[in-house]
Structure 1
Amino acid sequence: MKAHRRHALTRAIHVSLLLALPGLAVAQDAPPTDDATTLDTVQVTGTRIKRAEIEGQVPVQTVTREDIDRTGLTSIGDILQELTGSGSALNTKFNSSGNFGFSPNGDGVGAGSAQVDLRNLGPKRVLVLVDGMRWVSESSASGVGAATDLNTIPLAIVERIEVLEDGASSLYGSDAIAGVVNIITRRNFEGGQVTLNYGEYGEGDGATQGIDLAWGFNTDRSNFFIGASHVEQDPIFSRTRAQSAFPVPGTGVAFGSSATPTGRFIFTDPNTGATLNLTPNTGNTSPIYDPTQTGCDRTDGFHCFTTADRFNFSQFNLLLTPSERTGVFSQFRFYFNDNIHAYAKALVNRRQSLNQAAPEPLFLGAGAGTGNPLADNIVISAQNPFNPFGFDLDSADNLILVGRRPVEGGPRRFEQEVDTRYFATGLEGSFGTERTFFWDVNLALSENEAEQTNYGSYDIRKIATALGDPAVCAATPGCVPLNLFGGPGTITAAMLGYIQPVVRDRSEQSLDQFSANLTGDLFQMATGPLSFATGYEYRKYEGSYNPDPLTVRGDYNGVPSLPTAGEYDVNEVYVELNAPLIREGAFGKSLDLSLAGRYSDYSTFGGQFTPKYGLRWQVADELLLRATYAEGFRAPSIGELFGSDSRADLQLFDPCLIGTDGSPPTGNPANCAVLGVPPGAQQINTQISVTTGGNAELEPEEARSFTAGMVFSPAFGSGVPWSESLDLEVTFYRHEINGAVQAIDAQTQLDQCVATLDPIFCNGIDRGTTGAIVGFSNRLTNLGSINTDGWDVDVFWTLPETDFGRFKFIWQNTVVTRYEAIGAAGQPQPQGVGIEVADSSIPEWTSNATIDWRAGNWNASWTARHISDLTEDCGGAASFPICSNQAAGTNELPAITYHDLQVGYRFEFLKGLQLTAGANNLFDEDPPICLSCSLNGYDASTYDIPGGRFFYVRADLRF
């Protein structure tokens, strides 16, 4: 992105923020006439037509400001992830840098971000709008992402959130396959508000504190709002909770790393021909190697490496990543007359976050499998003053593996700084006498700019020099011979100064958009007006990712990646019609047919047309039936199209090798032999490097969505002694996606390769002479299909007010009846209903039930959040008692119910002082233990953290 564009956008935002107030003086000159309110005709998410009767045509869930305050949460992402229709998505409970690497989508990992997934179809298939306009995609300096980072939008500016759980590509374009999240900002705000909040976990850590400021006023011809927000969230370390203190709960260090602070050395002694797997004795900083001792009964400075020697990297991980977010938002509207007004909006937001991983491991030698030739082909000179073996350790000859964890260099710390800038302006108006038409034109410029700074990594080229010929090292400026052989403390500050750089990665994304819309009634039919909406939209996307030059050169020891850059634009036109077919007849009160279509022309792949059809049947005042059918698509993102190769170190279990715990291989022995695996080969490390990247040949994903449901408000439950109102909503949904952009699940690809020897699976998986995987390519492609369906069942019951106050009961449920993902070659992917896999899950039943009570100045609420049971593959942990069904190799994650309590009181001070106290996860339920999850022994996208009782207080003063 060019600098002049960034500076222009920054100036536009600053001007709108600073000059909005002087405009208010002009706004007071001439009052509008009474009918100016026609500009506020109802428009809801899920339709472009402005008519009050359209409401209820599609299933839209509204999260009000009252609902937001009741959660006690400070992030839009955290709030949306608690909806029953939400699936697994990134949040600040994911310590997602380090070996977590890059996502299999080729678009980087949004470390520190919070995303939303609907219908378990992935965050990249959810379209996020702010006041009806698209929000720019995330940028976290690890790639060019396809999802939206909700931590770039301050919660304080939100009036409500509308969630459309239906395909809507015909109305909003690409990305709306799974649904739409429309965040409505505060607008008509009178006076000021100061909100202070503080909370922490019952263990005394993870404190969250924040302040929100809001001020606004309305005149006859204008309204103005400005809001500022600052939130700080402190970290929680994995070591402070028993469940997350080890790599896999209940297995000790069996699944710890073979790169240890003491060091692990697997080599063949050229003098004796003996292959040894040694580690120095604890505390022996100058071990002496005796070549005559060719077994494990040793009296020199070494012993044979065992499971007990593995390194517990969990002690350095984070359960909750620290985050600091500061944002300012302002919007101003000026009414020129009864029929036209202008608006301007601006936002600046900064997110500072941190992820931490254990000290970076050094894996060197032919069996390292890093994919970096500097590490895999290393030669450690016999002349290195610290080499105790007396001969060269040569990857081409006798060196299988060196695994050393330089704890002297400290943990890896990944610090992100993300700046978001947004400016929008436009005109809205109406015209007509007999029929009123509404129009608007809008321009929005937005960008995310991120820098990630990594402390604690290493330069593998300098390590190779420091381990090589001392004469070469002496001739190299700054080089200091490196000691990997003596255990903790033997790597000096001078050695670290030569091999340990500071790594800085950067990324940017921008979205420029223009739209023009027109809506109204075309003409009067016998049954009512034929309503329409039509419009044009232009969008331009730009994105880039620039890793540190050290990474680009291939010298970075950590997870490597290459630069990415790309752009594309799209022109779109759409039309939407709503035709009343029946009014007040034998078939009910009304029957409406809605039709919509959008044509999109992309610079990357050409044109696409998407239609949508809907029926809304008001059978009676009490009963509404509705159904929709839509076709949709999702264009491949910049990262998916243009992303260069990057690597993730994934937790994989090789079926051809003896497990790290000594368990026998599970793969077909004959097939393993064909793949070059010698008998008795053991898996050294369960973290296998997997390379993925973009694919310029990708086609758009295509989808079909269907919903059918009812809204029932029985008369017997309205205005009677036991009920003021009673509403029941039932919706059936079905989504089918073809050509889904995804890489094959890496474990599935490996298992299928061993089971079938099919080149579709085996191409790209390379093994070394030891049988270990030394290369694993897992490319993006248009996979076969994803099919899911289920039910939403919601009950809303308000009781009449009594001497005890007013009670309201809300019960929302989602039941997933099917989820099938089929790969490009017809192979089933592991995701499914009731299954936990790849740090995500699809519970069969999720439910939120809330009892809300208000009496005078008091208010209280009780919320129960239920998640049904899940099943996972135990993987290499199948032989441990922690695996609930060892015979089948599966583990059950029991159902869990969280309880949240909140109590508040309002003081009549100024315009009101509201004090609130609450506790989330009141009974301190620990999440089910997950044996297959990558970090911390639980699924961070589904459950609260272990030891997760969270207490908070909030003071809200209005004046």
Structure 2
Amino acid sequence: MASLRLRQAIAACALPAAVVAGSVAPVHAQQPAIEEIVVTGSYIRRTTADSPSPLTVISRADIEQVGAIEISDIVNRMTFNSGSTNTTSAFSGGDNSEGQTNINLRNLGLGSTLVLLNGRRFTPSATDSGGNAYVNTAVLVPSIALERVEVVKDGASALYGSDAVAGVVNFITRQGFEGMEIAFDYRTDQETRKQDDYLFSGIWGVTSDRGNITVSAEYLERKPLQIDDRFDDFGGTGVSTLANPGTFLPAAVPGSASAGAVIPAYLVGGGGLGDLDCELAASQHRQSFRSPLTGDLAPLAANVIESGGCIYDFSPFFALVGGETRFLTHVSGEFDLSDSIQIYGETSFADQRFTRENSMFPLVRFPFIPADNPGLQNDLARRNANLAGTPFEDILTTPGNVAGTTFFGRALGFTPSDTGTDVRPVDTDTRQFSSTWRATLGMRGDLGFADGWVFDTALTRSERDNTNRGTDTIQQHLDLAVRGLGGANCNGATGTPGAGNAGNISAGQECYYYNPFFTGILAQDGSPQSDPMLANPVSLYNWMIGEFRTQTKNEQLVWDFVTTGEVMQMANGLPLSAAFGLQWRKDRLSVEVDDTSAAGGFSFIFGGTNYSAKENTYAGFVELAIPVNERLEFQVAGRYERFDEIGEDSFDPKITGMWAATDDLTLRASTGTSFRTGSLVQTSGFSTQLINIADPFSGAGTAFRPEIAQGNPDLAPESAFVWNLGLSWAPSDGPLQGLSVDLDYYSYDYDDLISRPGAASLIQQDIASRCPQGLNTDPDAGPLCGVQPDLTIAFDPAGGPGLPDQIIRDENGNYLRAEPLFINAQELKTSGLDISSRYRWTTDNFGMFTAGVDASWTREYKITDANGVTTDGVGKRNIGTSIGRSLPEWKANFSLGWQRDRHSVFGLVRYVDSYKDDQQVTRNAEGEALCVGSCLRAVNFGLDLLDDKVSSWTTVDLQYSYEMPAIGFQAEGSRISIGGTNIFNNTPPKLNFDGGFDPFTHDARGAIWYVRYTMQL
């Protein structure tokens, strides 16, 4: 990718990567007359595309030479973009786990960059973990239809309204295309050769004296890549204490003061009794292992009982790349009604189907297994055998001694590839089905009553229908099944427990026990369990585990009117130009969930509510271009926007200046305000994400648990004060002719950021209230508080209530979920420097060369949270904030291109700076680490917990292209390209995080090799 310096009309926008973004040049009277155009960042027509705002233009040639096949490939190479979710990641709080891609300029948040298609809005149909709505660029337009991408890298609300805080990205399609072009792309990963992409695309167009029409389409088929396929690189990173084989906590034992007391002697480190067959499971597959933090054995009267908790590595289930099919079409056309009036329109459609594997969700309501459950009876008998010949013989099997056990785990473990469908009978894949369409109908031309004034008005409608499905355990069915009343043909009121297991099947009596122990799957010799009293039937799994669905519909209707022209001739003889505009838009959101979810019937996916919301917005703006002389010009703009439903409004001004100091050097400056209102989810809905988290208060180990943020209609708009200083230098003669340099220094002061307090932070606040003197297990050190060695939970009499509305616990204090409220809480100040330079030279014998550098340096990124605590996020992962994401201090691209005759080679070196993993390890009052998840992951992944550095990462991309001569029906301009990204196969830095790498910064696929054939007809 490279920036583009536009000097002439529309044709210049397709120039290759040799010239520089944001460059500005004086308009000289002696230059030939050229067509007036409009460039993103201004509505005023100009004879050059120079911009006083920092502007980067990515041409079609740029897109092709880096081997991009989709918009995310373009975005990932923008050095000024950080924190986008353009790779599959199931572990980032719900961000981009279903195929969405997005843009995050300056790391200000996915909702703070306004995305346009041909200068007009597209419905923001996806949300991130913070509830911020953004445009899913994966379904925007076929990549073969793109002419260029224009990026305004400062606040633009003065012209474009809400969301344009970080800037504007305008995707512009090929207009007036003539002929036909078809392309085929194939790419595969080097490591496994399983992750294949097949892309078929085409574009066709015809023109006449009065109009044109262009039609494009593409079909993408993407094969998945599992962590299991790259287990040596990323396996062992998905650690959960809620496993299968799982962990158990028996109740009612000899010597206990009352029924229901725990067996302290069986426990090690609070780990509970691990399933006896944890090692058997580990011998069958690589997902189960005994916890190295709690030990394998626990003493009991000089004898031993298997006790260490059984841990589950769910990472092999999940995808580094999800499976996907995608079909996109785009049609555009123009027709001249007269010499002064033109009608135009465009329509696009996208169908996206995304699939990724998923582990079975854990059971976070911790079912109690009664003493008559055959699985428990078998387990106790096996444990009792270890006590033979001791005074404690038969202690576990004597009726009344054990009333039951609490199960900490999940209904199913294992992966399908390891064990087949016999032990994994249900489909646990996450799937998304979405269809998106957009249509624009407009008219533009001359205003007959105002000489030299033109107008442009259009109506644009866009809509996305999306369905997400997954599976979870139905809590009511589980509760019946552990009591022997499970099954679709069992009458829960009159059925006989276990009649189906015993073979006594009659109407309403096909009742089965669910055996939560590993004996429900395999016998001790590793063969499939054949004992009907222990085996879990396939039909029982299918009855216990149900499908949940969420259907979401996003709609947007926008009417725009813009008129622009010359107001008057100023005293200096130069025109005062202006643009005036009006806009009305209506956004709607509706969400429907299945009946079981609505009733809170699933064990893990808690709740869900059908809701709908809307917002009507009215806006008007004015823009003035005031030339002081032929070298100095100012622009003044302001926009007023009012939001009906939330009762808010905003006025945002912007002033820019551009001074052509010499023929080669231009200086620019801009300052203004921008804003963003909360999304419909943030103001009126809810947002659920699944967080892999532990709770030190209750001793709950690391597991995924729901965090459900609630909408807040009282949210104020986010607001930002933005300024930019820049220069462009391009020597027109001398030894440096062919060199161009662009520098831009930016600053954002961003207030009232909308955020959802994170579960980890809320848990700490909850604990601080409940345990004012800290977590404590030593009665001599003060009041007991929190989980104790016997796994009971103590409450400090002087403690407070915690956060009962946001941290939801059961009556015993066990953590269930978090329910934070969206709030205006944070402030962000960031500044930095963008650098772009190109040098092009031509030789007599060796062709033309182009060298380039694009770099972004972040000077500061200071986040102030709701408690007034300020941290600088530069060079950090920013895991503790709900706004910032990973932000390396430096990102840079170094390019070198060569072209001679029909041959060309392009190389790109991409550098991502090192940064700090600021993930905090929770500690108790004694300073001991309470880090089951991160500690186990460190053991499995070979990481040093004390080393928080995420290393720098450098990759090399290379492409060779050959432009073929006309042969038969193949026209001149056809070409074949062969290349690779990350050709040296550099694995991303390891990270102590689920999945083992940072999906916001790095790409886990390794080397990708591709071939592309483009045919002109």
Q: Report the more deviating stretch, 822-831 or 311-320.
A: 822-831
Structure 2 residue 748 is matched with structure 1 residue 741: no
Aligned to 2:1016: 958
Structure 2 residue 826 is matched with structure 1 residue 784: yes
Structure 2: distance between partners of 1:767 and 1:324: 41
> C-alpha deviations, 1:613-663, integer Å up to 9, x for none?
11111111111111111111111111111113x543323355xx4xxxxxx
C-alpha distance 526-702 of structure 1, shift in aligned 2 (>3 A): same
> Contact 2:874–2:889 at 8 Å: present in 1 too?
no
Partner SS for 1:306: coil
Structure 2 residue 603 is matched with structure 1 residue 529: no
Structure 1: distance between partners of 2:652 and 2:627: 23
1:146: how far off? 0.7
Structure 1: distance between partners of 2:642 and 2:182: 44
Aligned pair partner of 2:412 in 394, 405, 409: 405
Structure 2 residue 619 is matched with structure 1 residue 619: no
Structure 1: distance between partners of 2:764 and 2:163: 32
> C-alpha deviations, 1:890-931, integer Å up to 9, x for none?
411111111000001011122332000001001111111111
Aligned to 1:907: 964
> Contact 1:710–1:731 at 8 Å: present in 2 too?
yes
Q: How does 1:279-290 map to 2 (within 5 A)?
A: 279-282=274-277
Structure 2: distance between partners of 1:124 and 1:140: 8
> Contact 1:711–1:729 at 8 Å: present in 2 too?
yes
C-alpha distance 593-386 of structure 1, shift in aligned 2 (>3 A): closer
Q: How does 1:776-855 map to 2 (within 5 A)?
A: 776-828=818-870, 831-835=873-877, 837=879, 840-855=885-900
Amino acid in structure 2 at the alignment position of 1:710? L
Amino acid in structure 2 at the alignment position of 1:578? A
Aligned to 1:463: 478
1:853: how far off? 1.3
Partner SS for 1:52: coil
Structure 1: distance between partners of 2:1001 and 2:460: 34
Structure 2: distance between partners of 1:394 and 1:917: 72
Structure 2: distance between partners of 1:278 and 1:535: 70
Aligned to 2:1004: 945
1:520: how far off? 0.9
Amino acid in structure 2 at the alignment position of 1:217? V
Aligned to 2:324: 323
Structure 2: distance between partners of 1:79 and 1:53: 25
1:817: how far off? 0.6
Aligned to 2:782: none
Aligned pair partner of 2:613 in 546, 566, 571: 566
1:136: how far off? 0.9
C-alpha distance 612-543 of structure 1, shift in aligned 2 (>3 A): same
Aligned pair partner of 1:201 in 189, 211, 216: 189
Aligned to 2:334: 333
> Contact 2:244–2:409 at 8 Å: present in 1 too?
no
Q: Which has the larger radius of gyration?
A: 2
1:491: how far off? 2.5
C-alpha distance 699-507 of structure 1, shift in aligned 2 (>3 A): same
Structure 1: distance between partners of 2:468 and 2:43: 40
Partner SS for 2:441: strand
Structure 1: distance between partners of 2:647 and 2:599: 32
Q: State the TM-score, normalized to the length of structure 1.
A: 0.82
Amino acid in structure 2 at the alignment position of 1:944? D
C-alpha distance 578-264 of structure 1, shift in aligned 2 (>3 A): same
Structure 2: distance between partners of 1:396 and 1:298: 20
1:503: how far off? 2.5
Structure 1: distance between partners of 2:127 and 2:948: 34
> C-alpha deviations, 1:674-702, integer Å up to 9, x for none?
xxx5xxx7552254543322112211111
In structure 1, runs of 5+ residues without a counterpart are: 1-36, 104-108, 249-254, 287-293, 364-369, 584-588, 658-676
Amino acid in structure 1 at the alignment position of 2:151? V
Partner SS for 1:800: strand
> C-alpha deviations, 1:450-478, integer Å up to 9, x for none?
11232x43212111121236496374767
1:751: how far off? 4.5
Aligned to 1:265: 248
Aligned to 1:922: 983
C-alpha distance 265-398 of structure 1, shift in aligned 2 (>3 A): closer
Report the number of matched residues: 850
> Contact 1:465–1:472 at 8 Å: present in 2 too?
no
Structure 2 residue 229 is matched with structure 1 residue 228: no
Aligned pair partner of 1:43 in 29, 38, 51: 38
Aligned pair partner of 2:166 in 178, 190, 194: 178
Structure 1: distance between partners of 2:235 and 2:943: 21
Amino acid in structure 1 at the alignment position of 2:856? T
Aligned to 1:869: 914
Partner SS for 2:298: coil
1:494: how far off? 1.9
> Contact 2:578–2:622 at 8 Å: present in 1 too?
yes
Q: How does 1:191-590 map to 2 (within 5 A)?
A: 191-203=179-191, 204-242=193-231, 244-248=233-237, 256-273=239-256, 274-275=263-264, 276=266, 277-282=272-277, 296-297=298-299, 303-306=305-308, 309-361=310-362, 363=363, 370=364, 375-376=365-366, 378-388=367-377, 399=406, 401=408, 404-407=411-414, 408-409=423-424, 412-431=428-447, 435-454=451-470, 456-468=471-483, 470=485, 473=492, 475=494, 480-485=512-517, 486-489=519-522, 490-527=535-572, 528-560=574-606, 561-583=608-630, 589-590=631-632
Amino acid in structure 1 at the alignment position of 2:642? S
Structure 2: distance between partners of 1:391 and 1:499: 31
Amino acid in structure 1 at the alignment position of 2:483? G
Structure 1: distance between partners of 2:893 and 2:709: 38
Aligned to 1:148: 135
> Contact 2:375–2:520 at 8 Å: present in 1 too?
no
Aligned to 2:742: 729
> Contact 2:719–2:750 at 8 Å: present in 1 too?
yes
Structure 2: distance between partners of 1:525 and 1:816: 41
Structure 2: distance between partners of 1:393 and 1:295: 25
Aligned pair partner of 2:721 in 704, 722, 729: 704
Structure 2: distance between partners of 1:847 and 1:923: 18
1:703: how far off? 1.2
Partner SS for 2:609: coil
Partner SS for 1:337: coil
1:609: how far off? 1.0
In structure 2, runs of 5+ residues without a counterpart are: 1-31, 257-262, 267-271, 282-295, 381-396, 415-422, 496-507, 523-534, 773-799, 922-930
Aligned pair partner of 1:652 in 693, 716, 739: 693
C-alpha distance 395-650 of structure 1, shift in aligned 2 (>3 A): farther
Structure 2: distance between partners of 1:316 and 1:738: 40
> C-alpha deviations, 1:927-951, integer Å up to 9, x for none?
11111x3x310011211215x1000
Structure 2: distance between partners of 1:190 and 1:740: 47
Q: State the TM-score, normalized to the length of structure 2.
A: 0.78
Structure 1: distance between partners of 2:850 and 2:755: 43
Aligned pair partner of 2:636 in 594, 610, 616: 594
Amino acid in structure 2 at the alignment position of 1:551? S
1:772: how far off? 5.3
C-alpha distance 129-71 of structure 1, shift in aligned 2 (>3 A): same
Aligned to 2:953: 896
C-alpha distance 300-224 of structure 1, shift in aligned 2 (>3 A): farther
Partner SS for 1:641: helix
Identical-residue share of aligned pairs (%):
22
Structure 2: distance between partners of 1:883 and 1:237: 17
Partner SS for 1:67: helix
1:297: how far off? 4.8
Amino acid in structure 2 at the alignment position of 1:573? G
Partner SS for 1:496: helix
> Contact 2:875–2:916 at 8 Å: present in 1 too?
no
Q: Report the more deviating stretch, 839-848 or 538-547.
A: 839-848
> Contact 1:143–1:643 at 8 Å: present in 2 too?
no
Q: Report the more deviating stretch, 156-165 or 137-146.
A: 137-146
Partner SS for 1:784: strand
Amino acid in structure 2 at the alignment position of 1:531? S
Partner SS for 2:596: helix
C-alpha distance 113-202 of structure 1, shift in aligned 2 (>3 A): same
